Structure 1
């Protein structure tokens, strides 16, 4: 009746005032009809108590005047309580013994504060103050005001360069903006000078190192996963002469001259598939650091360079999991909270060869089996099986706000097994050959913040490496066993002390015991040779971090080393200096002395089935000396409006290398000698960064010469001298899509060819001057793409595709010669990877 009267009046009347009054009457009339269907909450409570055999407890004024629509009779108790909380805005709290307490939701309130540096000299602008449902930023005077909903809510205060502050909301006094002092982070010693160097996530710091943040990483050509040892090859001055991650050449050095650390644990094995992919699972690596010069004195070894990989150091509150696969392996990652103070990270990866043989796997296998026992006996070989896996574990435990404990474990394994068949005396005989390469490492890391100025870190680790092969020779009825083991124990204690706001002092002690054993065991004729050596070193190190003004950064230090075995003393100064010039230029000077006691040698090219023929050995201060290096570099950087230009020249000399560590396959293959190499080089980078696009061009020039006084030719080109190298690349990122393409060109590697006249003398090759010829130039074009998307709430996914060597160019990476049955030199050629696709799919929870 009311509705009909209202409609009739609206059709016949032009009185706007009356129209408005009747419209309101219509609305309230409709509301009164709906309201009449509601019942008092007290009646509904009685019904629920009877149905679920429980008891509600509340103050009478809490539910007085509260009406609610009837509920669905099929709902569970939890559904009813959720509905009541939403409709009434009251809190229903289930207690013990079937009681449910009802109380009014407390109103939100505001807190405020003023942030200062611990010294009281600086007001902290730009700090982030985070509550459960709101956040704010401190102003120029360090003041903030924030709305919170509960007195027990945790307030998180963070500022770059300072330790995070955690406080409960009820610790803030009402109407009183108290001063909150924040403590500087002593571990933040080097600042990022250049962000997004080449691509997003790569930065260059004021101490000359490169830092890679894989939580905020872009994309590089040919790569769809965050492989550290592949990533760093995009930077100038780093090459891999044979395209493997187990043969990285940093400024002309060999791979055994690189220090590779995983959470400060030294690794003697860096690759899976015997060098084609990194042995460290990309999922667990959150940050990486590359140092080419000016190394911090707390690090020893690595006369060519240092590569540091770190896992997530934070205690995570939420469960995280990721499962993925590509055309080589499948992996899983999980981060599991254990209480409020600790979390456990678990990662595992395994090859999928047992399930499917992909084109990528075939390309990789053909690459590693070149010039090996597998290829030589391919017609007689059967049942070829290859497998690899790795397992990572990390426990993050915050004992208190000042004490942090980290425990790490790593397991890596590669295994190749094949059967050789032959008909001997009219009988088919078979025998199995195998090659196993594995590493096991573990470490404990403990940090203690004593006060606002002093922090100490204690670390202990154990790392064990083994390479073992069994070569069955059916024709000679012989079994040849080879084994190479490394066992290293290390302890390091270091402390940081803030002498002043601009000066921090680092000091520490390190003990390292390294044992290496090599076994050669032949059954017919019986021959067993085993050599074991142990070296213990004690080291003291110190460095001053000096920041007198914002535009200047100076790190100067030294490392003192005492070798028990040789009773020797080595002092190594280290320096990094960075100075801003004008407004957009920076000058950099780096210098260091370093040494290492371990190196890799090749006795014979067919050792360990010819697949992984390098073995670790220790210096003996006789025919295998301690390797020492000296390096200095200087560079200039221009960075403005998305343009980045960097040029760096360097001079490096490495003394005490052995001929057997260089892998000669010419007239010096079986010659033992001790020498040096000298590198003069230039690294240049031009990078233009737009909003969504980054394009770059890098160029490296290297003059790398051997010096062997005992050789007939005392000076000649280094085996890994890549005189010119050019890289052109571009990456594009928009929303959830990332694309990259890149071209790599470099001059050919040195090689030694036979003389055209009289190429063979006394059944041996008569060579030209060592490394006087050059292989064909190298060219490779790579592309890659990834796409991130959401499958459902809480489930994210990523898919990606890459193609390595898209043009399928046959790049020659090595040649050597053998005398055939007609006494004619036969050239053997090793090729790089051909066109190699890879695809990935990953889900994260």
Structure 2
């Protein structure tokens, strides 16, 4: 009995002991400092801390002695943002976090509609770790620096930056990111001319992958698309001859992925030298030019290829009646490195199509050896090619490296032989360029862009005369450019509405040219130059923008031209104010300088193809060109109507009778002058469901003034076209697109002759007032259509068939009229009229995958 009683007492005591051991503590929002003694007794642990550290730190928890001590401390860390650190077997110190501490974070990424977002990039900046969310938007990492910034980004969503410490919660955080489309100004995303062409803050953006068909084009030619904008003319009907508000083409800055280019045309300007299918987008600036851009005083054409690493192998290939080409973009290392390649070549040296014959008639009508060819053998071998390559490497979410290469070439060999006398035009032009760029995101406010480039241009022209198979004379023209440069640019976001841009740019430019006459007995250098110029530039720009209300850009650029002892401070300002949701006004002002220019070659004046050469500024003959421009405009959009008007004044100083494209018909001396340009651009567009139409009108008045010419009175510029109207139409039905465009403008100015006299073997010309006459009115109608389709057997491929006709009703337009004499003792009168393209059809076919 006694034994039984002892057993019962033992069991009861064990039950009591067990109950005490498993006592449950339920703490609800109590001061941590009051809870510490309970934890110390429960776990036989001692804590050390500063009283101020635990001040106002509240915790909640439910635990027993069986609860994991590690999990309990983690819970307290999440609630208090304090670090519980083991300093001995039974000792824990409590302190604030420092930058070397790591924490465990997790979270869910959702859009504003609570939808989990998959494949969202989560970049932990301090440790350079990349995470990607799963199907439920979840991400996690157990070793994250406490103070690290975390960048959350995805295409189509606004980037969000959070701190790691903000994710130190008991429950995984729910993070919401916003769709950027909803935050864009509605004016920005609306098309300008047609789909794929938008206008924002005076910048015309062309997205080549999305562009709709334009009049006269079956393919999206970059430079010809730009010519449809108001204020842009092409007096000589060339694609590369872009005259922006009275300035000559050599005053335009044309960049290919940051590489300066010096030759933009194939087939002597009739086609663009840039393959449009290798291009992602083009930014075209007429005014309001950012301080980031230097080197030129007119328009800026910034061409960019795809800068995203390819996820899949894509490409396209096709042909038209002039050339064939192919473009591919292939991954090399998944999500890290990809390569883009493109190549294009004409087959005009193998097959002369009806399209090429029309281009050929237009181009070669002004070559002397084409005249009086009856009974002679004429052979025209011509081809062009262009290639480009781009390597894209995403080193991390914060670093991107790009390597670019560009090359294009035109090769002409035009021969005439009557059995005794042979004449040969031999012309080669080459443009090549290379660059490497590095973009780095320092943090959510600071981004760095670094770029270095090398650009080279070569012109080699020879006119050979032979008698009975022996060369008797060679007249040659050579022009070479080597341009090396680098640029560092920083973008810093002061606030959500303010940004500041700054940087440094350097270029080393070496240009030389020579005009040489060679015979078996002597070599005569008619003119030559070999010059080097270093340019240093610093620039900064402040930008302020509020959504759909006000935009201000104020910048300044300092250019130092070493070698000519010239420095210029170039202020730039652009302001745009929305007076209402549908009406805005804008104004710009800018000063710019240019140290390179083209001169119209006047020594070998009877060789008219590519008759301009590049030269550098000096302290005597070719001063640095400067330009002031101011604009005032207004824009209105409502109910699918778009109205835009822009007036401007431009003054160009330090032009010469050569750099202005003006060969003085009165004398051949050097003259310095200036150009004053007044103009207005008007644009009106109306959109319907499947049809849209737009019309533009431009007025340009260019007046040149030269010392000791025309009694120092002004006269119209050589390329002056006062009135231009462009009227375009677009219609889409199912997979067909149709476009029709009509261009009308007044004739270009020219200088007529009033009398022809002779003095022995010399022919003397008496000229009328300089550029006092105008050619007849110019107009033409262009048509184009494309059809997109797929074949059921292979739906991954998309096919496109295109047809275009330039000058649909066959108008015979006169482009230029020139009277002059040849440079010889027994000189001859040259009286040539240059006519535009006749009816020129083209057909294209393309495959996309």
Compute the TM-score of the two structures, normalised by the length of structure 2.
Answer: 0.78
Q: Is 2:208 the counterpart of 1:219?
A: no
Would the alpha carbon gap of residues 469 and 378 (structure 1) be closer, same or farther in structure 2, given more than 3 Å must change? farther
Aligned counterpart, 2:5: none
Q: Distance in 1 between matches of 2:486 and 2:372?
A: 46
Q: Distance in 1 between matches of 2:394 and 2:780?
A: 47
Aligned counterpart, 1:6: none
Q: Distance in 2 between matches of 1:722 and 1:364?
A: 23
Aligned counterpart, 2:203: 209
Aligned counterpart, 2:26: none
Would the alpha carbon gap of residues 823 and 443 (structure 1) be closer, same or farther in structure 2, given more than 3 Å must change? closer
Q: Is 2:657 the counterpart of 1:659?
A: yes
Aligned with residue 408 of structure 1, among 404, 413, 434? 404
Could you tell me how far 1:712 is from its partner in structure 2?
Answer: 2.7
Aligned with residue 474 of structure 2, among 469, 472, 479? 479
Give matches, 1:240-259, under 5 Å: 240-259=234-253
Could you tell me how far 1:500 is from its partner in structure 2?
Answer: 1.4
Aligned counterpart, 1:784: 784
Could you tell me how far 1:641 is from its partner in structure 2?
Answer: 1.1
Give matches, 1:543-562, under 5 Å: 543-548=541-546, 550-562=548-560
Could you tell me how far 1:689 is from its partner in structure 2?
Answer: 1.2
Aligned counterpart, 2:158: 162
Report if aligned partners of 1:127, 1:159 keep a CA contact under 8 Å in 2. no
Report if aligned partners of 2:747, 2:774 keep a CA contact under 8 Å in 1. yes
Q: Distance in 2 between matches of 1:824 and 1:567?
A: 44
Q: Distance in 2 between matches of 1:367 and 1:127?
A: 63
Aligned counterpart, 1:806: 808
Aligned counterpart, 1:279: 273
Report if aligned partners of 2:316, 2:848 keep a CA contact under 8 Å in 1. yes
Aligned counterpart, 1:539: 537
Aligned counterpart, 1:466: 458
Aligned with residue 361 of structure 2, among 341, 363, 366? 366
Give matches, 1:823-838, under 5 Å: 827-838=831-842
5+ long unaligned stretches in structure 2: 1-105, 121-132, 141-150
Q: Distance in 2 between matches of 1:548 and 1:132?
A: 31
Could you tell me how far 1:466 is from its partner in structure 2?
Answer: 0.2
Aligned counterpart, 2:264: 270
Would the alpha carbon gap of residues 586 and 676 (structure 1) be closer, same or farther in structure 2, given more than 3 Å must change? same
Could you tell me how far 1:819 is from its partner in structure 2?
Answer: 6.5
Aligned counterpart, 1:4: none
CA shift digits 1:472-517 (9 cap, x unpaired): 1125811222210011001000101111111111010000111101
Report if aligned partners of 1:435, 1:608 keep a CA contact under 8 Å in 2. no
Would the alpha carbon gap of residues 324 and 236 (structure 1) be closer, same or farther in structure 2, given more than 3 Å must change? same
Helix, strand or coil: the match of 2:360? helix
Q: Distance in 1 between matches of 2:784 and 2:170?
A: 56
Give matches, 1:353-432, under 5 Å: 353-376=348-371, 378-379=373-374, 380=376, 382-423=378-419, 428=420, 430=422, 432=424
Aligned counterpart, 1:305: 299
Q: Distance in 1 between matches of 2:114 and 2:295?
A: 40
Report if aligned partners of 1:374, 1:609 keep a CA contact under 8 Å in 2. no
Report if aligned partners of 2:721, 2:745 keep a CA contact under 8 Å in 1. yes
Aligned counterpart, 2:333: 339
Aligned counterpart, 1:773: 773
Report if aligned partners of 2:215, 2:741 keep a CA contact under 8 Å in 1. yes
Could you tell me how far 1:248 is from its partner in structure 2?
Answer: 1.1
Aligned counterpart, 1:817: 819
Report if aligned partners of 1:462, 1:489 keep a CA contact under 8 Å in 2. yes
Q: Is 2:141 the counterpart of 1:148?
A: no
Bigger shift: residues 362-371 or 523-532: 523-532
Bigger shift: residues 514-523 or 823-832: 823-832
5+ long unaligned stretches in structure 1: 1-110, 116-123, 134-145
Would the alpha carbon gap of residues 614 and 347 (structure 1) be closer, same or farther in structure 2, given more than 3 Å must change? same
Q: Distance in 2 between matches of 1:710 and 1:165?
A: 65
Aligned counterpart, 1:41: none
Larger gyration radius, structure 1 or structure 2: 2
CA shift digits 1:120-164 (9 cap, x unpaired): xxxx7489965489xxxxxxxxxxxx99389899x9964657348
Report if aligned partners of 1:212, 1:287 keep a CA contact under 8 Å in 2. yes
Aligned counterpart, 2:319: 325
Helix, strand or coil: the match of 2:359? helix
Q: Distance in 1 between matches of 2:449 and 2:186?
A: 21
Report if aligned partners of 2:647, 2:681 keep a CA contact under 8 Å in 1. yes
Q: Distance in 1 between matches of 2:108 and 2:137?
A: 17
Bigger shift: residues 357-366 or 525-534: 525-534
Aligned with residue 648 of structure 1, among 632, 646, 649? 646
Would the alpha carbon gap of residues 510 and 451 (structure 1) be closer, same or farther in structure 2, given more than 3 Å must change? same
Q: Is 2:697 the counterpart of 1:699?
A: yes
Q: Distance in 1 between matches of 2:331 and 2:282?
A: 24
Report if aligned partners of 2:539, 2:557 keep a CA contact under 8 Å in 1. yes
Helix, strand or coil: the match of 2:209? helix
Would the alpha carbon gap of residues 235 and 147 (structure 1) be closer, same or farther in structure 2, given more than 3 Å must change? same
Aligned counterpart, 2:102: none
Would the alpha carbon gap of residues 454 and 530 (structure 1) be closer, same or farther in structure 2, given more than 3 Å must change? same
Q: Matched residue pairs, number?
A: 703
4+ runs deviating over 6 angstroms: 126-129, 149-153, 171-175, 181-185, 188-191, 758-762, 819-826
Report if aligned partners of 1:198, 1:694 keep a CA contact under 8 Å in 2. no
Could you tell me how far 1:568 is from its partner in structure 2?
Answer: 1.9
Q: Distance in 1 between matches of 2:266 and 2:621?
A: 31
Would the alpha carbon gap of residues 172 and 243 (structure 1) be closer, same or farther in structure 2, given more than 3 Å must change? farther
Could you tell me how far 1:113 is from its partner in structure 2?
Answer: 4.2
Could you tell me how far 1:274 is from its partner in structure 2?
Answer: 1.1
Q: Is 2:727 the counterpart of 1:740?
A: no
Compute the TM-score of the two structures, normalised by the length of structure 1.
Answer: 0.78
Aligned with residue 582 of structure 2, among 584, 598, 604? 584
Would the alpha carbon gap of residues 274 and 235 (structure 1) be closer, same or farther in structure 2, given more than 3 Å must change? same
Helix, strand or coil: the match of 1:660? coil
Would the alpha carbon gap of residues 164 and 203 (structure 1) be closer, same or farther in structure 2, given more than 3 Å must change? farther
Would the alpha carbon gap of residues 381 and 561 (structure 1) be closer, same or farther in structure 2, given more than 3 Å must change? farther
Aligned with residue 487 of structure 2, among 485, 489, 492? 492
Could you tell me how far 1:433 is from its partner in structure 2?
Answer: 3.9
Q: Distance in 2 between matches of 1:760 and 1:816?
A: 19
Would the alpha carbon gap of residues 173 and 343 (structure 1) be closer, same or farther in structure 2, given more than 3 Å must change? farther
Report if aligned partners of 1:158, 1:165 keep a CA contact under 8 Å in 2. no
**Superposition CA RMSD, Å:** 3.2
Would the alpha carbon gap of residues 826 and 287 (structure 1) be closer, same or farther in structure 2, given more than 3 Å must change? closer
Helix, strand or coil: the match of 2:227? helix
CA shift digits 1:575-630 (9 cap, x unpaired): 11111012310101111111111111122275593211100011112111111000
Q: Distance in 2 between matches of 1:577 and 1:504?
A: 15
CA shift digits 1:402-426 (9 cap, x unpaired): 0000110001000001334255xxx
Could you tell me how far 1:430 is from its partner in structure 2?
Answer: 4.9
Q: Is 2:523 the counterpart of 1:526?
A: yes
Q: Distance in 1 between matches of 2:845 and 2:548?
A: 45
Q: Distance in 1 between matches of 2:643 and 2:583?
A: 10
Report if aligned partners of 2:108, 2:137 keep a CA contact under 8 Å in 1. no
Q: Distance in 2 between matches of 1:149 and 1:183?
A: 18
Could you tell me how far 1:227 is from its partner in structure 2?
Answer: 1.1
CA shift digits 1:642-687 (9 cap, x unpaired): 0000011000001111111233356247342111111110000010
Report if aligned partners of 1:422, 1:474 keep a CA contact under 8 Å in 2. no
Helix, strand or coil: the match of 2:380? strand
Q: Distance in 1 between matches of 2:721 and 2:449?
A: 41
Bigger shift: residues 561-570 or 471-480: 471-480
Would the alpha carbon gap of residues 805 and 165 (structure 1) be closer, same or farther in structure 2, given more than 3 Å must change? farther
Report if aligned partners of 2:109, 2:117 keep a CA contact under 8 Å in 1. no
Q: Distance in 2 between matches of 1:722 and 1:227?
A: 24
Report if aligned partners of 1:666, 1:767 keep a CA contact under 8 Å in 2. no
Helix, strand or coil: the match of 1:763? strand
Helix, strand or coil: the match of 1:148? coil
